[in-house]
């Protein structure tokens, strides 16, 4: 992700433990079917992240994917989608990523982008 952003002249994203935890929880919830494959609960995730960052969120976005076999496949897929690509190229400085597998081994990916 950061290699792509650098090639576009954008600053690298820094990983954040709180954002990672929220992204991981969402991937696990999708994999366990506690929520659908969607952005359901996004505002709650951002509220919890904002609290951990002392309320310092200016903007946030989220990409989700399922079924791909590698992170590179996921990123390549996101880059072919204008909405997902806009998030990747957005004015964000923090990120977090979560990956979880369901009982059949299908992978669920979540990446949250935050500007603070």
Q: Which domains does the chain have, with CATH numbers?
A: 1-115 (3.40.33.10)
* pLDDT on residue 115: 97
Q: 61: part of which helix (H) or strand (E)? A: strand 59-66
d(C-alpha 116, C-alpha 57), whole Å: 4
pLDDT in tens, 11-39: 999 999 999 999 999 999 999 999 988 89
d(C-alpha 114, C-alpha 99), whole Å: 18
User: What stretches in the chain show pLDDT beneath 50?
Assistant: none
d(C-alpha 60, C-alpha 3), whole Å: 21
* pLDDT on residue 56: 81
pTM of the model: 0.94
**Residue 84 near residue 78 (C-beta atoms within 8 A):** yes
Q: 45: part of which helix (H) or strand (E)? A: helix 42-52
């Amino acid at each position: 992700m950061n290699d792509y952003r650098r090639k576009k002249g954008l600053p690298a994203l820094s990983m954040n433990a709180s954002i990672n935890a929220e992204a991981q929880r969402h991937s696990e919830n999708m994999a366990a079917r506690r929520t659908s494959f969607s952005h359901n609960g996004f505002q709650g995730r951002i509220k919890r992240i904002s609290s951990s960052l002392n309320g310092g969120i200016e903007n946030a976005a989220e990409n989700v994917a399922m079924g791909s076999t590698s992170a590179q496949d996921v990123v390549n897929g996101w880059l072919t989608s204008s909405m997902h690509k806009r998030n990747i190229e957005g004015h964000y400085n923090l990120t977090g990523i979560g990956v979880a597998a369901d009982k059949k081994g299908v992978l669920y990916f979540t990446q949250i982008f935050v500007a603070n």
